[in-house]
Amino acid sequence: MNSESTRRNILRTMAGTTLAGMLLGTASSTAAASTTAEELWRETSSDPYEYGVSVVDGVAYVGKLGLAMGFDVESGERVMRSAPGDDLSSTSAPAKLVDGTYYYEGSSTFVALDPDDGSAIAEYTTSDSDAFDTFFDAGYADGEMYVTGTGGPETNVLAAIDIESGEERHLAEPGSLSEKPVVVGDTVYVGANNRDPVYLYAFDRDSGEERWRAEGTDSFGLDSAPAVVGDTVYACGQSRTDTFGWIAALDVADGSESWRHELDGRPSIDPTVVDGVVYVGVQMGLGDDLFLALDAETGDVRWKYESQAERETGLSNEAAPTVADGVVYITDQNGTVVGLDAETGEETWEADVSETIESSPIVVDGVLYVTASSEPDGGTTDDGHVVAVDAAGDGSSRDSRVLQGTYNHHGGWSGDASAYADLLQEGPVDSDGGDSGDGGGDDDDDGGSSDDGSPGFGVIGGLAALFGTVEALRRRS
C-alpha cells in the first residue's frame, strides 16, 4: 500500500457495521447504520459529463462534449485538457486508455491522444474506411481495434483496424449490432438489437466466422455489453414490445443458455459479475426499482435491494455498479452513491454527490470516483462535476465491468478482457496495471503496442497532430 493510501486510511472514520449472520437466499435487504463518506475533491465546469472516470497512473481521465481531460487523483488539479478536433466537438466519449494511449471515439472519427499532454498522435475516420459509414464503439486487443458501426442503410458491420498501420479487416455483417464489443481471447462478443430475435453473437477474432448466436423470443434485444467470466457469458436485455427484461448465463463454447432469470422490469444497464455473484439493476417504474444479487451458477436470487423502500427514489438509469472490498456501489436518482454489503445487501456506506448521477462509479486505491451534474445558479446548462470521495475500503474495483473495460476502467484493463475473464484474484487488483499482462495470452508482452508505444493508424498518424485545438498542462513530474 502506498503512503497516500495509508494516509487516507488513517483519516477515514469507519462508522457503522452490518448485521452479521444473515443467511443467503431470497431476502430483502434492511436498513443499517451507514458511513457517510468524506469528499476529497471536486472539479466543476459547465456542461454535464455522460461517462464515468477511468483512473490510470495517478490520473483520473474523463471525456465530455469534444474534450478529453485528466485530473491528479490526489489534488483534483487538472493536468491535461485536449480538444481533439471539430469532428468531435459535440461528441462525448468514455475515456479508454490502452498501452499508454488515450482513445477518444466519435461517430465519424477515432483519435489517439498522448495522455500526458493531450496532443493528437493519430486519427482514423470513416472516410479512411471501406467498411464504415458510422462508428459505434470499439474493443481493443493485441494492437487492433474491434469496431462496430454502420456500413450503409440497414447494414451493421464488425471490423478490425490495425492501430499502427490503419489496415482494416472486414469481419462480419450480421444484421443489427449494439455498441459495445467485448474481446476475450480469440472471440469477439457483441450484442444485437432492434430487428431480429438474435440478442448476442460470438465471432472468431481473426476470421470473423460466426461461432454462435443466441436467440430470444418477442424481438429481444441486447442494449448492454455482456460480461465474460470463466466459461460463461452473462447478458441482459429487454423485450421490444413490453416493459420486461431478463438476464441469462450462456456457455462460451456454443451459446447455449445455462439459466435465464426473468425480471419484473427492464435491466438498467450492463450486468456486473464478481466472486460468483451477478449484480443487476431493474427499472420497475415510478421509482420502485430493484437491485438484485444473483447466484452466478444458478441464477437464484441471493438478495434484493428495494430502492424506493430504502431511499424513496429510483436507481440511476445509466450507471452500472462496481464492487470493491466486499462493497457493491450503486447510484440513485437523488445523486447519492450507496454502498451495499456484498453478502447481505445492507446499506453500509453513502456519499451525497450531487443532484444527478448518470455515470458508473469506480474505486481505485480506496477512493471512489464518479461524475455528476447539477443545475447552475442562473444558468441554462447543467454543470458537470468530477468527484472523489473516500470509499469504504482501501482496495480497487475488481468486478467484470471495470476489469473488462465497460464504460470506464483502471490500469488493470489493457484492452483485451481476457486477463480477468476468470476473475481469480483473491487480493486487491493492481490498479496501475502491473499484473494485467497481455490479456490472457501465452506471451509475456502486453500484446498491443508498437515498438515505441505509440499508435499509427497508417499515414494519417503522421498528420493527425496538426489538427484540433490542444491545451495541456504537463502532469506532475
Q: How far apart are CA 312 and CA 367, in angstroms?
A: 27
- The arithmetic mean of pLDDT across residues 337-363, rounded, is 92
User: Quick one: pLDDT at residue 417?
Assistant: 57
Most confident of 123-127, 306-310, 345-349: 345-349
What gap in Å lies between CA 352 and CA 350, rounded to an integer?
A: 7
CA dist list (Å): 350 to 21, 32, 184:
22, 11, 34
Q: What would the grid cell of residue 281 be?
A: 439493476
Calculate mean pLDDT across residues 366-383.
Answer: 82
225 has a pLDDT exceeding 90: no
Q: Please check the confidence at residue 223 and state whether its pLDDT lies above 80.
A: no
Does the pLDDT of residue 53 top 90, yes or no? yes
pLDDT of residue 266: 81
- Torsion angle of alpha carbons 29, 35, 38, 39, nearest 10°? 10
Q: With contact defined as beta carbons under 8 Å apart, do 65 and 121 qualify?
A: no
In angstroms, rounded to a whole number, what is the distance separating the alpha carbons of residues 265 and 302? 18
The whole-number pLDDT of residue 33 equals 53
Residue at grid coordinates 454543470: 383
Give the lowest-confidence range in 14-18, 118-122, 193-197.
14-18
Cα dihedral 235, 126, 456, 449 in deg (nearest 10): 10
Give the pLDDT score at 24. Answer: 37
Are the beta carbons of 344 and 34 closer than 8 angstroms? no
Count CB atoms within 10 A of the CB of residue 30.
14
Separation of first and last alpha carbons in the chain: 21
Lowest mean pLDDT across 91-95, 282-286, 403-407:
282-286
Look over the chain and give the mean of its residue pLDDT values, rounded to a whole number. Answer: 78
Question: Which of 5-19, 307-321, 323-337 comes out lowest in average pLDDT?
Answer: 5-19
All three cell numbers of 237, joined, read 436485455
On whether the CB atoms of residues 365 and 394 are closer than 8 A, the answer is yes
List, as one string, the DSSP characters of 327-380: EEEEEBTTSEEEEEETTT--EEEEEE--SB--S--EEETTEEEEEEEE--TT-S
Q: Is residue 110's pLDDT more than 60?
A: yes
154 pLDDT band, cuts 50/70/90, is: confident
What integer pLDDT is reported at residue 159 of this predicted model? 94
> pLDDT tens-digit profile of 262-302?
888 888 778 899 999 999 988 877 667 889 999 999 999 99
Residue 202 clears pLDDT 60, i.e. is over it: yes
Q: In which band, very low, low, confident or very high, does the pLDDT at 380 lie, cut at 50, 70 and 90?
A: low
- Classified as helix, coil or strand, 391 is coil
Altogether, the residues listed in the chain come to a count of 477
- State yes or no: pLDDT of 470 exceeds 90: no
The answer to whether 436 and 430 have CB atoms below 8 angstroms apart is: yes
- pLDDT top residue among 354 and 55: 55
Question: Higher confidence at residue 3 or residue 467?
Answer: 3
Task: Give the residue-averaged pLDDT of 296-322.
Answer: 84
By the 8 A CB rule, do 252 and 187 touch? yes
Mean pLDDT of 37-53: 90
Question: Do 367 and 353 touch, CB atoms closer than 8 A?
Answer: no
Rg (CA), the chain: 21
Average confidence (pLDDT) over 90-105 = 86
Q: Compute how many other C-beta atoms are within 10 angstroms of the C-beta atom of residue 7.
A: 11
Residue 226 above 60 pLDDT? yes
Query: Confidence band (pLDDT; 50, 70, 90) for 471?
Result: very low
Residue 385 has pLDDT above 80, yes or no: yes
With a cut of 60, say whether residue 453 has pLDDT above it: no
Give 346's pLDDT tier (boundaries 50, 70, 90): very high
Nine-digit cell string for 351: 456519499
Hunting for cell 455489453 — which residue is that?
225
Other beta carbons within 10 angstroms of residue 308's beta carbon come to 16
Alpha-carbon distance 39 to 227, whole Å? 31
